[in-house]
Structure formats: structure tokens, C-alpha cells
Amino acid sequence: MAARFLVLDGPEGCGKSTQLQLLADRLSRQGVAVVCVRDPGTTRIGEQIRAILLDPSHGEMAMRCEMLLYMAARAQMMSQSIAPALAQGQTVLCDRFVSSTLAYQLGGEGLTAQQIQAVADIAIGGRWPDLTIILDIAPQRAFERVQRAKDRIEQRPIEYHQQVRQNFLAQAQADPQRYRVVDADRTPEEVHQDIWRLVSGQ
């Protein structure tokens, strides 16, 4: 397989981290050079921004500030990690990306998809993912899986997370060439097999 930029995204508790590792392992066994990153994070600067974003004590953070911090972390990760890996012929697997901002920050303080996409295009230098796989699950089911203290975003009301889910699904509906949806409310192996079919083209 040629080097590609693949994103796994979806609500908290959808199993992104587990599925990213399963996919990375399987690609590696196929002889594909794989680099795994997480958004926000991965770089030294990105991890510091992540800590600010998810800290429950930062309840006063404005939605536009939140959006721009995510983009800043993303810009650093693209420059320092993603772009170099792709240039070296490696496949990049990313846990979340711009698709998350279009789900979580859309509508906050009047933010539109067009505004978010315009800022994102600057942050990532126009290098959008080749494929984004949305792991879909109802928020109530997803939070049953979260076995830790909730971060600042997770603490928001269930109605917010229900809208986030709809925002994810709307992206896939609007751009079926670059998005696919996988039912995440199944066993990890069942979910992985669907992801593998999408990635391998089988």
C-alpha cells in the first residue's frame, strides 16, 4: 500500500485508540511503515496544548480560543510529525483530526464549518487526510466505556455530545469520498474487520 494519511475519529469511548493500534499492527505485518499520532498532542508543544485544552479547571475557555488551540497543536504536529513521515513514504494513522473540531466546536459562538475549514487549511498546509473513518456510537453507550475521570470536554451535557455525534455523521454524509462510518458498538474484532476492509480495499 502506498503511504497514506488515515484518521480514526468519533465520540469519547468509541474505541479509537484500540482500533488505531489494531490497524497499526496489521499494517505493520503487511510490511507497511506506520507512524501513529494523536490529536491534539504527539509533539512536545502539542502535548502542552492538550493539557491546557482538557484541564477541567479551564472552564472559562471561549469556544473560539478552544478551536484555535486545537489548530495550533495540529499545525505543530503536521510540521514536525505528519508531513515528514508522509514524505518518507510512511503511512500515518491519526487519532482525531480536523473532523473532531468540525464535530465539537461547530456552532459554538457562531463558528461555521467554513470558518473552521479555512483555519484548518492554514494549520495543516492544505494536507487533508486521505480517509477519515468515523467510529459511530451513541453517547450514552460511549460513556459507559470511559473508565476514568472525565476531562473538560467530556464533562459537557449529554445533549452536547448527542449533537457532536450528529456533526460527525453529517461530515460523512457530505463527503462520502473521504469519510466512512463504522458501527463502533460491537466487539473490537468486528469493528477492526470493517476498518480493515475500508483501508485495504477488500
The stretch 98-115 carries a mean pLDDT of: 96
pLDDT tens digit string along 42-57? 999 999 999 999 999 9
Q: Which helix (DSSP H) or strand (DSSP E) does residue 136 occupy?
A: strand 131-136
Q: Please state the domain extents for the chain.
A: 5-200
Provide the grid cell at 200.
Answer: 485495504
Grid cell 479551564 is found at 58
pTM strictly above 0.85 = yes
Characterise 73 by phi-psi region: left (phi > 0), alpha (psi -120 to 50), beta (else).
Answer: alpha
- Could you name the CATH architecture of 5-200? 3-Layer(aba) Sandwich (3.40)
- Cα Rg for the chain, rounded, in angstroms? 16
Asked if pLDDT for residue 92 goes beyond 70, the answer is yes
36 φ/ψ angles, rounded to the nearest 5 degrees: -105, 135
92 strand-pairing partners: 5, 35
Asked if pLDDT for residue 200 goes beyond 70, the answer is yes
